[in-house]
Amino acid sequence: MNLKELAETLGLSQTTVSRALSGYPEVKEATRNRVRIAAEQSNYRPNTRAKSLATGRAMAIGHVIPVDSKNEVVNPIFAEFIAGASETYTRHGYELILSIAHDEDQARIYNELKSKRSVDGIIVHAPRIADPRIKLLQNIGLPFVVHGRVSDEGKEYSWVDVNNKRAFSRATNFLIDLGHRRIALINGIETMHFASQRRQGYLNALTEHNIPHDTTLMYAAELTEVYGYQSAKALLSLAEAPSAFVVSSYIVAIGARRAIEEMDLKLGRDVSLITHDDELSYFSSAEDIPQFTATRSSVRQAGRRAAEMLLDIIKHPTHAPRSELLKAELMVGLSTGPHRSPRLT
Amino acid sequence: MNLKELAETLGLSQTTVSRALSGYPEVKEATRNRVRIAAEQSNYRPNTRAKSLATGRAMAIGHVIPVDSKNEVVNPIFAEFIAGASETYTRHGYELILSIAHDEDQARIYNELKSKRSVDGIIVHAPRIADPRIKLLQNIGLPFVVHGRVSDEGKEYSWVDVNNKRAFSRATNFLIDLGHRRIALINGIETMHFASQRRQGYLNALTEHNIPHDTTLMYAAELTEVYGYQSAKALLSLAEAPSAFVVSSYIVAIGARRAIEEMDLKLGRDVSLITHDDELSYFSSAEDIPQFTATRSSVRQAGRRAAEMLLDIIKHPTHAPRSELLKAELMVGLSTGPHRSPRLT
DNA sequence: GTCCTGTTTCAAAGCGCTTTGGGTATGATA
DNA sequence: TATCATACCCAAAGCGCTTTGAAACAGGAC
């Protein structure tokens, strides 16, 4: 069933039917109802493609998910972020077009989405410290919101981010207050902006307390369980092993816990650990006391907010760039405790 | 830049330019090259919407991801499956349209995708035992491939699945061969087809060895870490605790491991565990010996195959339904060992 | 030179919608 | 009665592409 047919059965013109359904005022309420009912009955819905062509709006948002070229790892936070964004899109009648691409293909994909007119806007995932995608998108004139930030000053763009630096300095301070002095950092790849910020926060806290920076305690890599396991294991095997860890993802923390337990240490007693927790739903901390002390911030909420922001930008293209800083709470769980004198073996 | 402009700058008609770019034979090789180069230079790409409207093909596939209504849990295997499917789509010039919906909204969304002509086909995720979506899609005439199966006999449809029943009977048999007799099942929700099949496999193995079925050893719920933790803890606290577990997901297994270790038991020695492993990339078992003995099957590969199948169905609509059964290998890891006499406390 | 065949190109229709720029009642006003 | 808003509705253009049916041209056969 299409507009033409629907109009014919109603004995009205396409114009009137179209207007009736889109809520234009110049159509009698009685006719509008008649049209509405007929549309309902015949299960009519305007063809998206035709509508887009006529209006020039694609009514779709692009998400280009990066995949690590070496290990083909897809970071699970994207699924959760997108779950949040999707809610918003559905509510506003937008579609979500997803593609998954290696870093080196991202620019090409943006270009394509633009020149094929497939989308009205883009969410930029996983920004690097000085991410060329920002300038690219500004040049080709495609509205976008960054999930995270880049550190190029003077660039004006819209973003939604959590206060990573503050979260990690807070976490580190918390451990220092518990008496820990040798604190390890198990971080993401530090060309990623979020990871570099977290490192900053960690280092700042150490500096504040005159604790020297020890690069043997700092790891950075793709955030997998095995990475958490292996780095924690290596760290705990050091002659001067750390007594506490600050960790960049829940999954990495799980790997670290595995290493800790395998070495017959007890998390929260022999070793303390604070992780960042994106509140992935299947790790839902629906427990009285969470297993990990964590800096917690809902990535699904970030998805919702970023999507709303992008739709708003599309609606009001002339406005100045917007931004929103979500804060991460420090939630105390079972994985932290006071520093104890070196264990006797 | 659009077709008309490109044609004008070249001094050719739109017809010729369009044909040149789409590789039709009735255009001289010299002109084709001229067109190609000009298109390249001006970064021309056909407007997807206009193209779809003209051809009647949306060049897009819909994925409707279910989200658990109670806990809003998004199962992480979807991200991985979609990563696989996306590869295929990109290669064939298709887009992937994603929406996330509660179970009760799924039918409506399928209907909308169809009547709005947004997609040429659909991947059905997370089928239930007698899933009404199959008939719905057949009725409205939208090509689809199911990731998994439904148990309604006589329904002809296309699917990609793993041999869940066989995998779980194999796992259970393996534990029985190790001397275990009290074997617990920590399963997904058993109205889901995959979960009911796994239960079948588990029960079959017990029956074969004349081991009575004990429903106090069987759990079924949404596959989260906390669920794994709580159910394992409850099971191990039984007067007649199980000595082995068969578990439906890697994440649940991680929760179970947490419970096991918290009770000062050693996995692989005091307690054995076999999990299903969908090979989620961030849990990549890139270790010499995997931490868990597992029935392993790549869900990303399933995504690739399902996508290929769907595109093939769209291309050849008259063919009979296709199907593909992927097998899960049993990979022996560190989490299983021979049964020991009851621990002394 | 004419006719035919095959190659290369084109004009125009059509996909299903929105939207512009009228048209035609209807009723109030002078 | 003529005039003018006002309310309601319509025909047709246009969005950017594919595709049909036909035209123009070249080359070979006669």
Residue of A nearest to B84 (CA): A100
Same-domain check for residues B71 and B140 = yes
A127 domain-assigned = yes
Check which CATH number belongs to the domain holding A145 and give it.
3.40.50.2300
Asked if residue B248 is part of any domain, the answer here is: yes
Q: Cα dist. B285→A221, A314, B128 in Å?
A: 16, 43, 29
CA distances from A258 to A227, B136, B294 (A): 11, 46, 17
Regions of chain B short of the pLDDT cut 70: 153-154, 285, 341-345
| pTM reported for the whole predicted model | 0.94
Torsion on CA atoms B234, B235, B241, B246, rounded to nearest 10: -160
Domain-embedded: residue A228 = yes
Torsion (CA) A240, B260, B300, B112 in degrees, nearest 10: -120
Residue A292 lies in a domain: yes
Domain residue limits at A231? 164-297
| Structure token digits, residue B176 | 């029985």
DSSP for B40-66, please give it: HHTT----HHHHHHHHS---EEEEEEE
Per the structure, the residue whose CA is closest to nucleotide C16 at C1' is: A50
Question: What does the alpha-carbon distance between residue A312 and residue A321 come to, in Å, rounded to a whole number?
Answer: 11
Quick: pLDDT tens for A33-59. 999 999 999 999 999 999 999 999 999
Instruction: Please tell me whether residues B33 and B178 are part of one structural domain.
Output: no
CB A49 within 8 A of CB B117: yes
Chain A residues within 8 A of B65 when measuring between CB atoms: 83
What single letter denotes the amino acid at residue A238? L
Search chain B and give the residue with CA nearest A67: B83
B318 and B263, same structural domain? no
Which residue in chain A is spatially nearest to B108 when comparing CA positions? A43
Q: How far is the CA of B57 from the C1' of D12 (A)?
A: 27
Chain C footprint bases within 7 A of protein beta carbons: 7-12, 14-21
CB B48 within 7 Å, strand D:
no
Q: Report yes or no: B193 and B151 within 8 Å, Cβ to Cβ.
A: yes
Q: Are residues A288 and A306 in the same domain?
A: no
Cα–Cα distance for residue pair A117/A115, rounded to 1 Å? 5
Q: On the CB side of B15, how many CA atoms lie within 13 Å of its CA?
A: 3
Contacts of A80 in chain B (CB under 8 A): 74
Does A192 lie in the same domain as A243? yes
Asked if B169 and B145 sit in the same domain, the reply is no
pLDDT digits 0-9 by tens, A194-206: 999 999 999 999 9
Residue A285: per-residue pLDDT: 66
* Paired strand residues for B192: B128
Q: Which nucleotide is nearest to B116 (CA to C1')?
A: C16
Q: Given A46, A47, A100, which is nearest B86 (Cβ)?
A: A100
Q: Kindly give the confidence (pLDDT) of every residue in chain A, 345 residues in length, as a single tens digit, with 9 standing for 90 and above.
A: 899 999 999 999 999 999 999 988 888 888 899 999 999 999 999 999 999 999 999 999 999 999 988 888 999 999 999 999 999 999 999 999 999 999 899 999 999 999 999 999 999 999 999 999 999 999 999 999 999 999 876 679 999 999 999 999 999 999 999 999 999 999 999 999 999 999 999 999 999 999 999 999 999 999 999 999 999 999 999 999 999 999 999 999 999 999 999 999 999 999 999 999 999 999 976 788 999 999 999 999 999 999 999 999 999 999 999 999 999 999 999 999 999 866 544
Asked if A83 lies within 8 A of B74 by C-beta distance, the reply is yes
**Is there a single domain that holds both residue B172 and residue B262?**
yes
Amino acid at A42: S
- Let me know if B20 is exposed, middle or buried by CB neighbors in 10 A (0-12, 13-18, 19+): buried
Same domain, yes or no: B85 and B98: yes
Contact flag, residue A301 CB and nucleic strand C, below 7 A: no
Closest residue in B to A257 (Cα) is B258
Are A225 and B111 a contacting pair at CB < 8 A?
Answer: no
The answer on A292 and A174 residing in a single domain is: yes
A179 lies in a domain?
yes
Same domain, B110 and B124: yes
- Tell whether B332 is covered by a domain: no
Cα→Cα distances A287→A273, A290, B260, Å: 18, 6, 17
Same domain, yes or no, for B256 and B168?
A: yes
Tell whether A340 is covered by a domain.
no
How far does the CA of residue A272 sit from the closest CA of chain B (Å)?
Answer: 16
What pLDDT was estimated at residue B285? 65
Q: Is residue B94 part of a domain?
A: yes
Nearest CB neighbour to A58, from listed B49, B115, B280: B49
Mutation target for A interface from B48, B136, B263: give the one with most A CBs within 10 A: B48
- Structurally, how many domains does chain B consist of? 3
Q: Which residue has the tokens 């922001």?
A: A309
Nearest nt (C1') from B13 Cα: C10
Whether the CB-CB separation of A136 and A107 falls below 8 Å is answered with yes
Residue of A49, A122, A229, A230 to mutate, testing the B interface (most B Cβ within 10 Å of its Cβ)? A49
Residues 53-112 of B with CB under 7 A from strand D: 53-55
Size of interface A-B (CB pairs under 8 A): 160
B139 plus B223 within the same structural domain: no
